[in-house]
Structure 1
C-alpha cells in the first residue's frame, strides 16, 4: 500500500473499516457452519476503495502540520485557464496577479518577493514539476509557468514545503502533470475571448502494457488590454512512464516552450483613472519586450520500493532557458544564457519506534548553474557595442534534510526535521564599460552553510479535523543575477547575503459535515530580508534601474483562511456551494532607522475572494464571484498608495457527466473597474502621484469548448 493511502486509512478510513468489520461479523458467524454442526467464524474481506492520484496527494498534504492546499485543474478549467492567476485563485496566502496578460505574473506567498515587479524571475518560492525542481540559483524563469498539461497543483506555504527541500519563506508550489492513467484518450480544446486572446490545445494519453504516455501541445496569443502588451506562446508537455516490475518504475518528463511578449507599462493614478488601457511614454517609445527562444526542461524520476515498503526516489533535471530582453528596443538589449542541472534523492520508510508509528525521511537536492551569464549591449541594430558581461557559472544550492513523523498517540503526531543548505554564488564581471567604483572585486564569491530546523505538532480532534502548530527557520538565498544584474551599472554596490526567518504558525484544517477548510495564523521574524526597489524609472532613452539589498529586521505576519461550504443539496443531486478565501498580509519593518515601522510596499493588506456556484446534477453550473483588495503601499516611506478595489465576475458552463464535452463562459470585471494589479516600489514618492502602477484588465468575456474522444 502506498504511503499516501496509508495516511488516509490511519484516520477517517480507519473508523469506516472498523465499523464495517463490526457490522459484518454477526453475518459471518451465522453463515458458516461445519459438517459436524460446529459454528465457525467466516472469512470477511474488507477492501478500501483505490484512491485517485488527487485523493492520495490531498491525504499526503493533510499529514503536514501546517498550511497546505491542493488545486485540481478540472475545477480551474470550469473557467478561463490562461495564466497561473487563474490556477492559484482562491488560495489563501497566495498572491498571483498578471500584468499585461503574459506568464510573467507576480506571485508571492507570505510576502516572499512581495516588492518585485512583474516581468522578473520569481523569487522567494520554490517551483517544481512532479516533485522535480524548476527553481535554481537564479530564481524561477516564468515561461514554463503556464497551465498546460496539469492534473493538479500543490501549494505548501512556508516551511511546510520541507519535503521538497524548499527553505524559502514562501514555501513551494508543485505542479503535477497528467499521465496516461489520469488523462487517457484524446482531447481538443479551443478557447478565445476579449483582448484578442486565443488558445488551442491538443492532447492524447493512454496505456500500452506496462507503459503509459501523455502528450499535450498548445498555441496561444493575446493582443492585450493595455497598449503594447502583445504576447504569443507555444509549447509541448510530455510524460512517459514505465513499470519494470512491482518494485521499480520510472518516468520521463519534457516541457518545451517558446514565448514572446511586450512588457506592461506602469502608470500614474491619474493616467489609470483617465484611460487604464494606455501605456507610458517610455514603454511606447522603447517597445521593451522579452523573447524566450525556446526553453527546455527535461527530467526523470525513478522510484524503487523495497521489501519493507520503504521507497527511494531519484530525480535529475536538465534545464536550458535562453532569453533576450528588449530585442526590438534601442535601450540596452540583454542576452541571457542559462543552463541548470538539478538532482534529487529521497528515501522514506515506515517503522515502529519505541512502539510508536514512525515515518522517517532523508533527502538531498541540488540546483546548479552549469552555464549562466548575461551580455548587455548599447542599443543598436548590429549589437556590436558591449557594455557589460557577467557570468554566474557554478552558483548552486545544495540541500540535505532529515525528518521524522512520530505518532505519539492515535490522535497526536510530532514532526521534526532539520535541513542543511550549502549556498554558493559565483559572480564574475568580466567586462564593464564603466569603471568599478564600488570598492569590491570584479569577481565575487559567496560560499556558506546554513541550518534550518523545524518542529510541528498535529492533533486530530475528529477523524478529519486537526489542530496544528509548528516552529521553523527558513533561508532565502539571493538569486545569482540580483548580485550583479544586467544593467549598465559599474558593479554591485554591496554583497548580498541570504535572508533568514524564524516563524511560528498554528491553526486548524479539515472537513466536517458541509464544511471543508483551513485557518492558519503565522508570524515571521526576518533578518536581512531581500527587498527590491526601482532606483530610476525607465525613460525613452534608458531602461529602468532596479536594486536589491538586505534590509534591517522586518516582520511578516498574517492570517490565511479558506472555507468551502455546501449550502444546499437537492434530492436529485443539485448542490449550492460557497467557497471563500481571506488573506491578511501584515508586513512591516521592525524598527528601521529611516522608515521606522512602515509597511513594506508591494501587496494589499487584505484580500478576499469568494464564489457562489450552483451545480446541476445534469452537468450545468452557474455562479458569481468577487475579489476585493485593500490599498497597497507603493513606496517604503508610505506616502503613496494604490487604491483598493472590488471586482465582480460570473462563470457558467456545462460539464458533460459522460466526460465528452465541456463548455464554459467566464466573465471578468463585470463593472469594468479600473484597478491596480501590481506596483513598482520606490523609496520615497513624497506623496506624489508616481508612475508605478500596473493596470489590471477591464471587462472581459472568455469562452472555451473541449471535446474528448
Structure 2
C-alpha cells in the first residue's frame, strides 16, 4: 500500500485552527493625524489628549504644554485662557473672546468676526488636538497670524464603552466626567455622549469657577460612498476674576483680591452637521454646516455690565483629490470654501437696584469672514514635494452704535485680499526632513475691537512669513526645529487705558500699529534616553520657543519690544514609563521676563516652576489613577499681564498671579 497522499486529492482530514477572538478596541487617530501633518512645510504638532489626561487636564494650559511656538496660560483656573502662537493676539483681554488663532471642532470653525468665545476652549470629550502654526493652517482656510487649533471629538469608535472620571485637588478643584460610546451591531452607526462638571474655589480669594459640559457625537455609514455625522456641544461657565495685582502684592501675597472683582457668565451651544461623499478612489467631497449660539454676560456682581449675545453660522465645503497626477507627476489637491456669518450685538453698561439699564447698543449683525483656498502638493520625486496655494479672503465689517459718546456711529467696509502660499519639503533620509515656506496672513479685526460705546476704524492686519526648518523622526528621537520671520503691517493691538473697577468697565483702545516684526525659533524634541530589556523606558520631552517681536522703526517707540509675551520659554519632562502601566516623572516650566508696556519701562519677572507626576494605567486601559503636583517650590509668579502704553517704570496693578503649590489626584474606570 502506498502511504503517500497526492496534494491534489481531497481527504476527510479536518485541521483545527487556533481560536481567533475579535474584540472592540479604541481607535486612536492621533497617530494618523500626526502623519498627515508631517506633509506640511512648517511647524505643526498633534496632542494626544489621552497623554494629557495622565495628569490634570483642566484647561488649554494643560493641553498645549510642550508645543513649540505656543504660549498658553490659565488666569482663572479652568477659564480665562490666554493662548498665543507666534505672538498672535499679543495684547487682548482674558476670559471673554480669544483672537489671532482660528479654532475648529471637527473641521468646522468656531471662530468668526467676533473672535472665539472661550467657553468652548476646554478639553471635554476631545480625542486629539492639532496645533498648526501660522500660515501652515492654509488647508483649514485659516489665514490668521497664529494659524489654527483643531479639536477632534471622540466617537463611539475611539472611546467605546462607559467611562467614569473623577479629579480633585487644591483650591477646591473638582471634576466629574461620564461618557458612553459604542457602535451598532451592523457597524454602520457609532455614537458618543459625554457629560462633565467642574468646580474650583480659586487660587485668589473670591474667584470661584463653575462649569458644565454636554457633548454628543453620532455618525452613520449610509453607503460605501456616503457617511454623515452630527456633533453637538454645550457648555455653560461662570467664574469670577480676582483682579489685577502689583508685583509687590504678588511677591508678598498672591492670593489676595485685587482692586476689581467681577464675574463672567458664559454659555455656548454648537451644532454641526457633516456629510462626506466619496466620489471615486481619488476624490472626496465634504460638506458641513455649523450653528454656534453663545452669550457672554460680562460684569456679574458689579454695577456695570456688557451683554454679548451672538450667533455664528458657518457653512464649509471641501473637495479633496489625492493620488492624482499633474504635469505627469503625483499630486494631491484640496479646495475649501468656508464662511462665518455673525448675528449679534453688545449692550451696556450699568445696573441700578438689580436692574440693567442700557446706555448703548452696538449691532454687529451682517459682519462675516470668508475664505476660498486652493492648495496643491506636487511630488517632484520620492524626496521632494512642492506645495503651492492661493486663497481669496473677504473681511466684511458692519458695525453700528447708538452711543451718544462715540464720535462715529458706523464703521462699515468689505475688503478682499489675495493670500498666496509656497512651500517645499525634502527628505534627506526617511527619518530627516527639511522644509521651507513663504506665505501671507490676514487677521480681520474682531467686531468688539472696533465697536462698543466708542467706535474705532480698525483695519485688517497683514503679514508675510518666511519659515525654514527640520523634522526628525526615528525610533528614539521625534522632534522639529523651525526659524521664522514675519513682516507685519497694521498689526492690531488692544491696550487697557483704564482698568475695570467694581463700579466701571475697563476702557480699552484698539489700534493699528506701525510696521512690526515677529520672528523666532520653535523647537521640540522627544527622546528615549534608555530602554530596558523588558521594554521599560526613560523619556525626555522638551520644547523651546524664542520670541523676538519689535517695532521696525516707529516714530515714537523706535525698535522697542512688543509687550505681553516672554522672549524665552522652555518646558521639559523627564519620565520613567513601565510596560506594566506605571509612570513617574518631573517637569519644568521656565519663562523669561518681558515688558508689559510699549515704552519698555516695566517688566514681568522671569520664573521657573517644577512639578511631579506619577500614576498607573492598566495595560487593557480599563482603569487608571494619577497624582499631579504643580509648582513644588510655591513660586510666586506672574501668569499674564495687561499691557498699556507707558507705566513709567512704576509698579502697577496689571498682573495676574499664577497658581501656587498644588496637588491634584484623579482616577478613571472604563467598562
- Structure-1-length-normalised TM-score: 0.90
* Residue equivalent to 1:655: 617
Task: Please say if 1:161 is aligned against 2:133.
Answer: no
Matches within 5 A, 1:600-639: 600-639=562-601
* Residue equivalent to 1:302: 275
Cα shift readout 1:531-574 (whole Å, capped 9, x = no counterpart): 11111122343222111110000000000000000000001110
Distance 1:206 1:562 in 2: 36
Distance 2:583 2:126 in 1: 22
CA RMSD, 1 decimal: 1.4
Cα shift readout 1:79-108 (whole Å, capped 9, x = no counterpart): 000111100001010111011213221000
Distance 2:90 2:195 in 1: 33
Task: Please say if 1:272 is aligned against 2:234.
Answer: no
Rate the CA distance shift 1:162–1:177 in 2: closer, same or farther, 3 A: same
* Residue equivalent to 2:448: 481
Distance 2:152 2:355 in 1: 41
* Residue equivalent to 1:7: none
SS of structure 2 residue aligned to 1:143: helix
SS of structure 2 residue aligned to 1:104: strand
* Residue equivalent to 2:542: 580
1:56 Cα deviation from its structure 2 partner: 1.6
1:506 Cα deviation from its structure 2 partner: 0.3
Distance 1:455 1:339 in 2: 35
Rate the CA distance shift 1:660–1:34 in 2: closer, same or farther, 3 A: closer
CA contact (8 A) 1:118 1:678 kept: no
Task: Please say if 1:291 is aligned against 2:254.
Answer: no
Indicate the structure with greater helix content. Answer: 1
Rate the CA distance shift 1:314–1:229 in 2: closer, same or farther, 3 A: same
Determine which of 520, 533, 558 is the counterpart of 1:596.
Answer: 558
Distance 1:388 1:626 in 2: 47
Determine which of 530, 552, 568 is the counterpart of 1:568.
Answer: 530
Task: Please say if 1:327 is aligned against 2:263.
Answer: no
* Residue equivalent to 1:238: 216
Deviates more, 1:68-77 or 1:321-330: 321-330
Distance 2:597 2:527 in 1: 39
* Residue equivalent to 1:193: 169
* Residue equivalent to 1:20: none
* Residue equivalent to 1:548: 510
Distance 2:562 2:206 in 1: 30
SS of structure 1 residue aligned to 2:503: coil
Cα shift readout 1:465-516 (whole Å, capped 9, x = no counterpart): 210000000000000111013xxx4x22x30110000000000113124110
Distance 2:214 2:591 in 1: 35
CA contact (8 A) 1:98 1:118 kept: no
1:384 Cα deviation from its structure 2 partner: 4.8
Task: Please say if 1:115 is aligned against 2:91.
Answer: yes
* Residue equivalent to 1:426: 398
Cα shift readout 1:245-279 (whole Å, capped 9, x = no counterpart): 11110111000011100013111111111101112
CA contact (8 A) 2:317 2:337 kept: yes
Distance 2:382 2:163 in 1: 45
Determine which of 384, 401, 404 is the counterpart of 2:376.
Answer: 404
Task: Please say if 1:358 is aligned against 2:331.
Answer: yes
* Residue equivalent to 1:314: 287
Determine which of 415, 426, 450 is the counterpart of 1:448.
Answer: 415
The size of the alignment, in residue pairs, is: 646
SS of structure 2 residue aligned to 1:385: strand
Distance 2:67 2:163 in 1: 28
* Residue equivalent to 2:431: 464
SS of structure 2 residue aligned to 1:74: helix
* Residue equivalent to 1:535: 497
Distance 1:91 1:435 in 2: 44
SS of structure 1 residue aligned to 2:119: coil
CA contact (8 A) 2:128 2:151 kept: yes
Task: Please say if 1:220 is aligned against 2:198.
Answer: yes
Distance 2:296 2:500 in 1: 20
SS of structure 2 residue aligned to 1:245: coil
Distance 1:540 1:254 in 2: 36
* Residue equivalent to 2:645: 683
* Residue equivalent to 2:16: none
Determine which of 131, 144, 160 is the counterpart of 1:184.
Answer: 160
Distance 2:214 2:78 in 1: 17
SS of structure 2 residue aligned to 1:378: strand
Indicate the structure with greater strand content. Answer: 2
Cα shift readout 1:316-366 (whole Å, capped 9, x = no counterpart): 000000121113211x21111101100100101121122210011111000
CA contact (8 A) 2:27 2:157 kept: no
- Structure-2-length-normalised TM-score: 0.95
